[in-house]
Structure 1
Amino acid sequence: MHVVITGASRGIGAELAKRYRADGHTVTGTSRRGGGGLVALDVTRAEGFEDLAAHLGGRAVDLLVCNAGIYPDKGQALDTGYPASMWAETFATNVTGVFLSVQALLPNLRAAQGARIAIISSQMASHTRAPGGSYIYRASKAAALNLGRNLATDLAPEGIAVGIYHPGWVRTDMGGDAADISVDEAAEGLIARFDALDKTSTGCFQTWDGRDYPY
């Protein structure tokens, strides 16, 4: 199996790449700067996807994991924070970057038999969770959820399944030391979810440990 993982330089993305390689799969990982066996890809810049497509050539992609994301608005004050530039950067990364990843690799996904797309969103995308704050991150992950649901509809006739996932509150640079689960736990659970993704579950919004989450 050939797996492409965006944002694979650290955290969940790096652990997923490590585990897939250990299981004998071919992994193409990306990071903003590249190096260390990773392909350089800034998901906010459209031209970078041309380079990624060229790097892959016509190779089939069995699983695309859209993992690259940022959470810059922690601790922002409603009265004075959340600048427009932060909104633009976050949506360019967490939403447009997902769409461009899928769009650029469609030929490669179509070349595989029963390809799958996994979009890393968050439980913070759900309309059932509204404790306030983190407006930019919440809105961007809700948009990624909506994007994934609609991609699932459009790609179903081609046999490409799309799943959207909450990876858990994970002890990473983004999640912080107080988070609930380790990177190992998150990656193990997510891989099980990706393995189970097929045409019958396309469009799902699930947690890392297999629970269906309300949209």
Structure 2
Amino acid sequence: MHVVITGANRGIGWALAERYRAQGHGVMGTARDGSAEVQLDVADPAQQAAMADQLKGQPVDLLICNAGVYLDKGHSIDDYPAEMWAQSFAANVTGVFLTVQSLLPNLRAAGGRIAIMSSQMASHTRAPGGSYIYRASKAAALNLGRNLAADLKADGIAVGIYHPGWVKTDMGGSAADIHVDQAVAGLMERFDALSLDNTGCFETYDGKPHAY
């Protein structure tokens, strides 16, 4: 299996890449800072085109859209500059779409699967206030994934959207509920179970359907 993982230089993305490699799969990771196999700012069309050229003709069995930012963590309502909104949506939403768009020929060649990392914070059932940008961008990523699932089903491409859990990473913080290994093990089971029968699903890392 050939797996492409965005944001593979740390946290969940790095751990997924290591686990898939250990299982003998071919893995290509991307990172904005150049610390993975491919340097990719997911919001940069030129870098997306360069990645597509590099992978031209290679089927991609699984694309994991993991790259993302949480720039407004801990910010108060009066500290939300417009640029923070633009940067966050560029990475968390536009970047997902551009990555799928860039690798669509590769995914079609494999009848591949797409896994999009969203968050329980995208759900209308979890709206306690705060983190406005992150919540809104992850809700948009969820909506994007649902619509991609509808459009790509005819191509044989399944799309799943996932909440990885509140994970002890740089983004999740030390107070989070679960360790990276637990999240990754659950996510890999979800990706394995993704098919055209459940395309468009929004699930937690441990297999529970999540309310939209």
Normalised by the length of structure 2, the TM-score is 0.99
Q: Where does residue 93 of structure 2 map in the other structure? A: 95
* Offset at residue 33 of structure 1 (A): 1.9
SS in structure 2 at match of 1:111: helix
Q: Where does residue 33 of structure 1 map in the other structure? A: 33
User: What is the one-letter code of the residue matched to 2:63?
Assistant: L
The gaps in structure 1 that reach 5 residues or longer are none
What per-residue deviation string (whole Å, max 9, x for no partner) do you get for residues 127-154 of structure 1?
1111000000000000000000000000
User: What is the one-letter code of the residue matched to 1:160?
Assistant: I
User: What is the one-letter code of the residue matched to 2:68?
Assistant: G
User: In the alignment, which of 160, 164, 180 is matched to residue 157 of structure 2?
Assistant: 160
Write the mapping of 1:97-116 to structure 2, written as runs, cut at 5 A: 97-112=95-110, 114-116=111-113
Write the mapping of 1:169-208 to structure 2, written as runs, cut at 5 A: 169-208=166-205
User: What is the one-letter code of the residue matched to 1:13?
Assistant: G
Root mean square deviation, CA, Å: 0.7
Find the aligned partners of 2:24 and 2:76 in 1 and give their Cα distance: 47
Conservation of the 8 A alpha-carbon contact between 1:9 and 1:38: no
The gaps in structure 2 that reach 5 residues or longer are none
* Offset at residue 38 of structure 1 (A): 1.8
* Offset at residue 29 of structure 1 (A): 0.3
Find the aligned partners of 1:167 and 1:208 in 2 and give their Cα distance: 5
Normalised by the length of structure 1, the TM-score is 0.97
* Offset at residue 75 of structure 1 (A): 1.5
1:84 aligns with 2:82: yes
1:59 aligns with 2:58: yes
Percent of aligned positions with the same letter in both sequences?
69
SS in structure 2 at match of 1:131: coil
Find the aligned partners of 1:139 and 1:75 in 2 and give their Cα distance: 15
* Offset at residue 55 of structure 1 (A): 1.3
Q: Where does residue 140 of structure 2 map in the other structure? A: 143
Runs of 4+ in 1 over 3 A off after TM superposition: none
User: What is the one-letter code of the residue matched to 2:108?
Assistant: R
User: What is the one-letter code of the residue matched to 2:148?
Assistant: L
Find the aligned partners of 1:27 and 1:150 in 2 and give their Cα distance: 27
* Offset at residue 27 of structure 1 (A): 0.2
